[in-house]
Amino acid sequence: MELQGFPLPDNCPEPGSCIRVERPEPGLVVVVLDPPHRSLAVLDAPLLNDLQQVVHDLAAEKDLKGVVFAGREPLQFAAGADVEGISKLTDRNDALKVVRFVHAIFQQIQDLKATTVAAVGGAVPGGAFELSLSCNYIIAANDPKTRIGLPETQLGIIPGWGGSHRLPRRVGIPGALDAILSGRLYPARAAWKRGMVDRLAYPERLLEIACEVAMGRKKIRRKERGMGKWLVDKNPLMHAIIGNKVRKQVLAKTRGFYPAPLVALDLVLGSLGASPGQMVEREAEAVAELATGSVCKSLVSIFFVSEAAKKYARGHDDFRPRKLQHGAVIGGGVMGGAIASSMAEKGLNMRLIDLSRDALDAALVDHAATLEKKSKRRRLKPHEANAALDRLTVSQEMDGLANAEIVLEAVAERMDVKKSVLQNVAAKVPSNCLLATNTSSLSVTEMAAGLPRPERVVGMHFFNPVRKMPLVEVVRGEATSEEAAIEIAALATRMGKTPVVVKDVAGFLVNRLLGPYLDEAMRLFVAGVDPAHLDQLMLDFGMPMGPLRLLDEVGLDIATHAAQSLHAAYGERMLPCTGIQALSSEKRLGCKTGWGFYRHPKGKKAELSSDLSSFQQEDSARNLSDQEIQDRMVLSMVNEAARCMEEGVTQSVEDLDLATVFGMGFAPFRGGLLRYARSEGFASIVARLEVIANSQDVCNRPGGREKFTPAPWLRENA
């Protein structure tokens, strides 16, 4: 019986070619996942069809003693389920068929009379781990590349191939909930300590030990949970207490926008009181509902475009980026220090240069504190933390650059200062050294003018805070080479960031889109909308924080400067509201001074300032509906995004959407700014923009009508 409803890959292989069956000795079978159409096995339709046939044949063998499931290499087991296939499932019945088909295979593996062992290593996410859970034992390669877990909730679905009931039976309800709701991929040793795998083995001995266990020549003593198994797993009262507590935590984190974690919670809590057959149907129904829903489709779309960004960073057949070893950052402020620290942590020998000794000392203290915290949390081994500490050196002189392969400037946001720094650096570094700028708005093209080899000058725009924000804008000036852009993208990926290549325009992409959004929020506030309600509406929309709270985070002085830069570049439609200047003062710049729209007492929750009503100059917006208020803020971004598409600021709509999610926190469950617009219908977006553009208060303000008149790109797509 072949799998129906699961889309086939474009390069579909011949039936029977995805599995190798080896027989090292009588009674032992090694089932090797080795699809010819994939560099790493994926549980797609061809492989699942072949696996079903192999397991069916093994079930008929009478003298079978042991079966080992392995990858083609010790650190290449399988990359989980076929996410692309899942993304193409639109029919609920097809999704049900897929889940039931896979469950039947895994149940057959569990029912084999032989001892079954999964020999896993490298990436073992989702469906690959669920395949392993159907075996009697799991042996993992003890190697840093091994990562094991169930990340399905991060893609808007649940572990639907047995993970929701097999993992709780193996590790208990609390451990299973932690693994499934976090979506974390655990290192091999952490997975072993949690009971997710039964034994560790060095990669070179993984298959050998797995075969010994399968044949009964090596014994494994599975971790016992003791009294916890009876006090928690068999106790309905504890289930209710755990469920109530975890549900509150999930809702606090997701605000109800993501259904998968709550569905997974119910499945895990009910798993130990249900039969395997009942759990199969529950998981199938859950997957069918979630996989065909909009949230899953949005999250999967983000996953694919982020993977495409990583692929770009790997280069192509004609050019592969260097693994940079030596670098420097000019400017030891908060941003420059954090960038240099992050690069040193990822293996680069870094030089941090600043005229201020105090700034350098502060950067070193912060670097050491960050590494110590990671070491205590076991995210870094002690020797790794010590090595990273040694890789960052500082200087008040422009020295130590003779071997630099990249120098990034993070000095004051002034063109004359940046050009002077880059000219000085260019005279001291090798000809193949990349010259990067962390500017948030200034022209990379202008910075490169007059420098030797301007093709190596490229923007590498980080967002604050550097260690937390996942996006890096790779800005290509007019002279920037493709090779330089790829190398910067590769470095960003190495740092754990997601790179998006953007055109050299004022504000680049993210700040250009944030500009009209924050300005519109300011105008609505000045025009009488309650500030608490204003921020709450955008939280309800799915943003991580309200626009006034975000202005405090950015800094009212920085926001004012950015708004003026955008106005200078784009004219009347970007004319800034004067409300921020009225509000801000030397002591009132947002989080950095402890006071802006909000009061920010140390160690306490921020609260709106009590004097905000005195800055509201009129009441023209007080009668707007909640939908109209949201539209004015969100659609101002959508319209500017459409203009960015007309100008080719990003290479695709998907790149723009990725940048909005990773750079400004645009609601991931909506899939990005333009995906949201598409889901609303471009015709609807155009009509709503026209209503705003023609409203009296917008028509009466300079640039208002121009700001909201629908961009041609939107009309064409409508």
Contact 47, 62 (CB under 8 A): no
DSSP 128-155: HHHHHHTSSEEEEE-STT-EEE--GGGG
Long-range pairs for 212-219: beta carbons < 8 A, 24 or more residues apart: 213/66, 213/115, 213/117, 213/137, 213/139, 214/28, 214/65, 214/66, 214/67, 214/68, 214/114, 214/115, 214/116, 214/117, 214/137, 215/25, 215/27, 215/28, 215/65, 215/66, 215/115, 216/65, 216/66, 216/115
Contact 551, 597 (CB under 8 A): yes
Annotated active-site residue 461? The verdict is yes
State the Cα–Cα distance between residues 110 and 107, nearest whole angstrom: 5
Residue matched to tokens 């259904």: 259
Query: Which strand (E) or helix (H) includes residue 716?
Result: helix 712-717
Long-range pairs for 412-420: beta carbons < 8 A, 24 or more residues apart: 412/331, 413/439, 413/440, 413/441, 413/442, 413/561, 415/442, 415/443, 415/446, 415/447, 418/442, 418/447, 419/446, 419/447, 419/450
State the Cα–Cα distance between residues 383 and 366, nearest whole angstrom: 18
Residue matched to tokens 């590769």: 490
The set of residues, in sequence order, having a beta carbon less than 8 Å from that of 554 and lying 6+ positions away, is 518, 562, 590
Q: What are phi and psi of 98, to 5 degrees?
A: -60, -50
Catalytic one among 461, 561, 567, 600?
461
Contact 473, 442 (CB under 8 A): no
Number of Cβ atoms within 10 Å of the Cβ of 648: 11
What does DSSP assign to residue 114? S
Q: What are phi and psi of 401, to 5 degrees?
A: -110, 5
Sign of the alpha-carbon torsion through 247, 250, 255, 256? negative
Number of Cβ atoms within 10 Å of the Cβ of 390: 10
Question: Residue 358 class from Cβ within 10 Å (0-12 exposed, 13-18 middle, 19+ buried)?
Answer: exposed
Number of Cβ atoms within 10 Å of the Cβ of 263: 22
Query: Which strand (E) or helix (H) includes residue 200?
Result: strand 199-201
Number of Cβ atoms within 10 Å of the Cβ of 281: 15
What does DSSP assign to residue 184? P
Contact 471, 662 (CB under 8 A): yes
For the record, the structure tokens of 317 come out as 């057949």
Number of Cβ atoms within 10 Å of the Cβ of 4: 11
For the record, the structure tokens of 716 come out as 């064409």
Q: Which residues are catalytic?
A: 461
